[in-house]
Chains A and B, each alone.
Chain A
Amino acid sequence: EAGVAQSPRYKIIEKRQSVAFWCNPISGHATLYWYQQILGQGPKLLIQFQNNGVVDDSQLPKDRFSAERLKGVDSTLKIQPAKLEDSAVYLCASSTRQGLGYTFGSGTRLTVV
């Protein structure tokens, strides 16, 4: 089966600019997760969707980060405006409603200069 697709693979922006990441989960997976992974650390959960509803966004910096999952399939994560400390790999994962088949994409590496 096809895996979790993410794009772009790499992105370099200047601070205060905006950026968006896209994720297409595994077909049939109701739950979608966005993680932020700073160099040398484990992935940190930012937001979790169940279909198109938010289950948990307690770790999402809502003053600059936003995410949506319209129609309960694809998802976008946006940062506006970006800060230097947002430089990280942004990982998307998906699973079934029961949490089975938890699979990660390859991530988007963001560099803010």
Chain B
Amino acid sequence: DAKTTQPTSMDCAEGRAANLPCNHSTISGNEYVYWYRQIHSQGPQYIIHGLKNNETNEMASLIITEDRKSSTLILPHATLRDTAVYYCIVRGAAAGTALIFGKGTTLSVSS
């Protein structure tokens, strides 16, 4: 699987947008970008995924660059409960491909 590079940590003020970057310069054409987050003492939680187009759901937006070498996860109005480790994962399209995690970004939201 392609590797991803994320900043180790980021800070965000409550109510502001949190923009979490991810570099995946070796991504292949059929590989998806997935985002998961892990709140302390819980298992990772699915946020969003995409292939080429930008995606939005009730939790977040995913912006993928045209060359697909990087992406940004956007939490539009961060709350204290969004404090977590955020993982950007590149995953192959083959059925049943496992998620391979890196170190992720620790997002700290403060009031």
Residues of B near A95 (CB, < 8 A) are: 96
CB contacts (< 8 Å) of B96 on chain A: these are 31, 48, 50, 55, 95, 97-99
- Chain A residues with Cβ below 8 Å from B45 are 104
Seen from chain A, the residues whose Cβ lies within 8 Å of a Cβ on chain B are 4, 31, 33, 35, 41-45, 48, 50, 55-56, 91, 93, 95, 97-99, 102-107
Docked Cα-Cα span, A45 to B100, in Å, equals 7
The contact sample of 10 A-B pairs, CB cut-off 8 A, is A41-B103, A42-B87, A42-B101, A42-B102, A50-B96, A91-B43, A98-B95, A99-B91, A102-B46, A106-B41
Chain A residues positioned under 8 Å from B87 (CB to CB): 42
Complex Cα distance A29/B42, Å?
21
8 closest residue pairs by CB, A with B: A104-B43, A42-B101, A98-B95, A43-B101, A104-B44, A99-B96, A31-B96, A45-B98
From known contacts A102-B46, A104-B43, A107-B43, infer whether A97 and B101 are also in contact, taking CB-CB under 8 Å.
no
Q: List chain A residues, Cβ under 8 A from B104.
A: 42
Main secondary structure of the interface of A (DSSP, over half): strand
- B73 shortest CB reach to chain A, Å: 16
Complex-state Cα separation, A105 to B43, whole angstroms = 6
* A residues near B85, Cβ cutoff 8 Å: 42
Q: Bits for B27-50, please: 1 = Cβ < 8 Å to A, else 0.
A: 000000000000001111110000
CB distance from B102 to the nearest CB of A (A): 5
Q: Does B95 contact A43, Cβ atoms closer than 8 Å?
A: no
Contact for B101 among A44, A50, A98, CB less than 8 A:
A44
Q: Mark B83-111, 1 if CB is under 8 A from A, else 0.
A: 00101000100011111111110000000
